């Protein structure tokens, strides 16, 4: 099969079908043996292949992994950019692997709830750390020096400014990209017009060349009339 295809025995996903259907599916290479022999062996076992295959050139698609198997791309999430899906080093395929390890709908739902719970916990931890950073007044202390408060406020303002600047830079890059894309389309159209014109000129000069080759003027036509030339040729034939 051309292109990349999933190594799991019961899976039919391949890169061509994914591209045609515009599906949000990625393909992941097997772990290297020098990184983790255990993870590599588990990947091979869960493919449930009866035939021999080369894990070094094989891949498993993303539908066999849970959300918790991927690392968070916080930077792109904050900037509202496409998320880069990177597996954790200890990630193991667990979903849709076939009859021997087929999970019930309730088990799949439990995994989804666990993933949502884990994500909620991570968000709460991030918010809690931000609150702790901003909260400069402990419960058992009534007063705090103004300099500490000012430093926290300045830090928050600094991060806000950096974030706003990143948004501005992103919009500027997006605008430049659209301009370059428009220019590329215009140049491509101009190239098609030039190619069409060149083909037309080539056909014209080719026709001219053929006409020139087929036209061979008689050098005596400027000296003798046609009847004189016929008479000379007739006498010449009589001599032979």
- The pLDDT > 70 percentage for the chain reads 76
Write the pLDDT tens digit of every residue in 79-94. 888 888 899 999 999 9
Same domain, 18 and 87: yes
Three-state secondary structure call for residue 85: coil
In a domain, 73, yes or no: yes
Write the pLDDT tens digit of every residue in 23-57. 899 999 999 988 889 999 999 999 999 999 999 99
- State mean pLDDT over 199-216: 73
User: How far does Cα 213 stand from its chain's mean position?
Assistant: 54
Same domain, 96 and 115: no
The more confident residue out of 174 and 97 is 97
Write the pLDDT tens digit of every residue in 11-32. 999 999 999 998 899 999 999 9
What is the tally of structural domains in the chain? Answer: 3
- State mean pLDDT over 156-170: 84
- DSSP conformational letter for 222: T
In a domain, 98, yes or no: yes
Same domain, 88 and 167: no
**Exposure class string for 42-69: b at 16+ Cβ within 10 A, else e:** bbeebbeeeeeeebeebbbbbbbbbeeb
The more confident residue out of 139 and 180 is 180
pTM over 0.75: no
Task: Count other Cβ atoms within 10 Å, centred on residue 31.
Answer: 21
**Among 194, 134, 189, which residue's Cα sits nearest to residue 160?**
134
CA 102 to CA 85: how far, in whole Å? 24
Is residue 173 over pLDDT 90? no
Q: Please list the alpha-helical segments (H only) found in the chain.
A: 15-21, 37-47, 74-78, 105-134, 146-214, 226-239
User: How far does Cα 24 stand from its chain's mean position?
Assistant: 11
Across the strands, what pairs with 61? Answer: 27
- The pLDDT > 90 percentage for the chain reads 30
Is residue 77 over pLDDT 80? yes
Task: Count other Cβ atoms within 10 Å, centred on residue 8.
Answer: 24
Same domain, 35 and 95: yes
Same domain, 52 and 126: no
The more confident residue out of 223 and 171 is 171
CA 161 to CA 156: how far, in whole Å? 9
Q: For residue 128, what are the domain limits?
A: 106-135
Same domain, 16 and 89: yes
């Amino acid at each position: 099969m051309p292109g990349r295809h999933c190594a799991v025995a019961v899976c039919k996903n391949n890169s061509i079908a994914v591209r045609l259907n515009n599906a949000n599916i990625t393909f992941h290479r097997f772990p290297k043996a020098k990184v983790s022999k255990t993870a590599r062996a588990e990947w091979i076992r869960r493919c449930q292949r009866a035939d021999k295959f080369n894990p070094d050139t094989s891949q498993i698609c993303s539908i066999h992994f849970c959300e918790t198997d991927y690392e968070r791309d916080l930077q792109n999430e904050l900037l509202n950019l496409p998320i880069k899906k990177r597996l954790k080093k200890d990630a193991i395929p667990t979903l849709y692997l076939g009859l021997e390890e087929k999970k019930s709908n309730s088990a799949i739902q439990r995994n989804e709830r666990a993933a949502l719970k884990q994500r909620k916990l991570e968000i709460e931890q991030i918010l809690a750390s931000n609150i702790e950073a901003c909260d400069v007044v402990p419960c058992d202390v009534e007063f705090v020096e103004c300099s500490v408060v000012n430093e926290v406020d300045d830090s928050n303002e600094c991060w806000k400014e950096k974030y706003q600047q990143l948004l501005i830079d992103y919009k500027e890059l997006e605008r430049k990209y659209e301009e370059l894309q428009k220019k590329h389309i215009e140049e491509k159209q101009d190239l098609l017009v030039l190619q069409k014109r060149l083909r037309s000129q080539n056909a014209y000069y080719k026709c001219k060349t053929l006409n020139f080759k087929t036209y061979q003027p008689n050098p005596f036509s400027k000296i003798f009339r046609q009847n004189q030339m016929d008479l000379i040729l007739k006498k010449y034939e009589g001599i032979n």
